[in-house]
Amino acid sequence: MSVVLVDAGGTNIGSVRYALQRLGAEAALTSDAEAIRTADKVILPGVGAAGPGMARLNELGLVELMRSLTQPVLGVCLGMQLLCERSEEGDTECLGVVPATVRRFVEQPNLRVPHMGWNRVRQRREHPLLDGLGDDDWAYFVHSYAVPMGDYALASTDYGDEFACVIARGNFHGMQFHPERSAKVGARLLKNFLEL
C-alpha cells in the first residue's frame, strides 16, 4: 500500500510520518502530482493558517488534483479545514469538497482561544474510520477555527459550542485534533484510515 503526505508546508509532517511508521506504514512526503494521484492513501497534514495553506497548494498546482482524488484522503488539523468550502480565517476559499464554512471560536468567559489541550471525542455516526472509538475517548487539539456540525460530522467535541472533530464526505475524511499526539485514540483512528 502506498501512502503519501502532501507537502503543503505543515509543521506537523514529521510527527504524522512517525505515527504512521509506528503503524508499519511508510509515507512519502511529496508535492508531486503523479505520486499523489497514484497513491493508495493521501494525507493532507497542516498546522498554521488557511490562507498560506491554500496559497501553497495553489503554488504547487495541486488544488484541482486534490479535489479530483477518488482514493481515501485524510485531512489533519488545518488539512481537515482546507477540505471545506471556505474559512473565515482570511476569508479563504478552500478545496470545497465538504459543504461547510470554517468559523473562529467565539470568545466566551473561561474559554481561551485557541482551543488547546485534551478534549472528549463523541461519536455521532457509525463509520469504519471510528471503529473502536469509545464513549470516553479523548484527543489533543490546538486550533482557533472549527468546522460546524453538519451531516458530514462523524464525531464532535464541545468547546463552548459543539463542533465537528471528525468528518467524512465520500472518500474525503478529516480529523481536527492531532492523531499523532492523541495516544491510543489517534493511533487507532490512523490505523482505521489506513484500512479504509
Provide the annotated active-site residues.
77, 178, 180
Give φ, ψ of 88 to 5 degrees.
Answer: -65, -20
SS3 41: strand
> Beta strand pairing status for 27-30 and 73-76?
unpaired
Closest by CA position to 142, among listed 159, 156, 167, 125: 159
Query: Which contiguous run of DSSP H or E holds residue 123?
Result: strand 115-123
- H-type alpha helices, the chain: 13-22, 33-38, 50-59, 63-68, 78-82, 183-195
CB-neighbour burial class of residue 37 (10 A; exposed 0-12, middle 13-18, buried 19+): middle
C-alpha cell of 154?
462523524
CA dihedral for 194, 128, 37, 64, sign (positive or negative): negative
